[in-house]
Amino acid sequence: MKTRQMNHDWIATARTLSEALPYLQRYDGAIVVIKLGGHAMGSDEAMSNFARDVVLMRQVGVNPVIVHGGGPMINRLLDKLDIKSDFVDGKRVTDAATMEVVEMVLSGQVNKKLVHAINRQGGKAVGLSGKDAGLITCVPADPRLGLVGDPDTVDPSILHTLFRDDAIPVIAPLGAGRDGETFNINGDTAAGAIAAALKADRLLLLTDVDGVRDASGHVVTELSSTQIRDMTKSGVIAGGMIPKTETALAALAGGVRAAVIIDGRAPNAVLLELFTEHGAGSLIRAG
């Protein structure tokens, strides 16, 4: 039962809800692809909080698509099974034995845990991988890396079917090759390719940093693709931020309206980005 005592925090909450109205209207019917990884998958509480936000998005008319990673879980199981890995330029070679573990963890353990978390919050999540219904067809990313693939074609028709049924797709980043082999896909790359195929309104890349920083170390809240290229060329964008921004640029080139790099550790980061004026990360637009 609700208590009826008023305080300033509740008044501020009511004001925030009221100010969210134009953004709720703005995203009604929009497709938003979210790449989930890092801290947001690090605990049951974080996953539950993320699931609640996703269900709220669907409740107010947004069509969310979740693409998840699972690298740490894969590494733990490989170690437990004593499966040794080779590396090329710092990237794991995915042989047949490793691929069995990758598929087991991504399509099984991680995917179903996330589906269950969303369903517990009242959503209708459906778990699948890029192998299902011909969603992602891959080509080898680098023959030296074995069964690591890049999306060649993406057929999003199964996702539109799920949208019509008010379902929330939760996708493991795996794909099928032309000869039926299974490929492991970088989670960011898979999310960007799916967002482009859907011509999504937003691609949200949840990570463990609070956005793109300039040369002074300050987070830049909005950037153009030209600025991203210039900052990469000058070395301001470096290290692990480069693949994030490259994914964002590829998605924009494929027809996504904007991409946002967000700190997934922040509570309700996705809701803050979509439904408040100030947003929650670094928004990247074409131009």
In a domain, 13, yes or no: no
The range of the structural domain enclosing residue 280 comes to 24-285
**Secondary-structure breakdown of the chain: helix, strand, coil percentages, each rounded to the nearest 5:** 45, 25, 30
Residue 1 lies in a domain: no
* 36-48 average pLDDT score: 77
Q: Is residue 7 part of a domain?
A: no
pLDDT for residue 92? 84
Strand partners, 66: 34, 170
> Is 193 inside a domain boundary?
yes
In this predicted structure, the answer to whether residue 193 has a pLDDT above a threshold of 60 is yes
Q: How many domains, the chain? A: 1
3-class DSSP assignment, residue 126 = strand
Mean pLDDT, all residues of the chain: 89
**Ranges of H-type helices in 134-264:** 157-164, 187-198, 225-233, 241-253
Give domain status of residue 3, yes or no. Answer: no
DSSP string, 174-188: EEEETTS-EEE--HH
C-alpha–C-alpha distance, residues 97 and 44, integer Å: 29
214, amino acid identity:
D
Q: Contact at 8 Å (CB) between 211 and 263?
A: yes
Give the tens place of pLDDT for each residue, 23-32.
777 888 999 9
2 in a structural domain: no
- 262-282: pLDDT as tens digits: 988 888 889 888 888 777 789
Residue 141 CA to residue 80 CA, distance in Å, equals: 27
**Does the structure show a pLDDT above 90 at 81?**
yes
pLDDT single digits (tens) 197-254: 999 999 999 988 888 998 888 899 999 999 999 999 999 998 888 989 999 999 999 9
Q: Is 204 exposed, middle or buried (0-12, 13-18, 19+ CB in 10 A)?
A: buried
Report how far residue 127's alpha carbon sits from residue 269's, in angstroms, rounded to the nearest whole number: 23
For residue 234, what is the domain's CATH number? 3.40.1160.10
CA dist., res. 65 & res. 174, Å (int): 15
- Does a structural domain hold residue 11? no
Identify the CA nearest to 126 among candidates 173, 174, 175, 159: 159
- Average pLDDT, integer, range 178-207: 95
Contact 210, 218 (CB under 8 A): no
* Assigned domain for 49 exists: yes
pLDDT at site 87: 85
State percent of the chain over pLDDT 70: 92
Where is pLDDT greater, at 87 or 228? 228
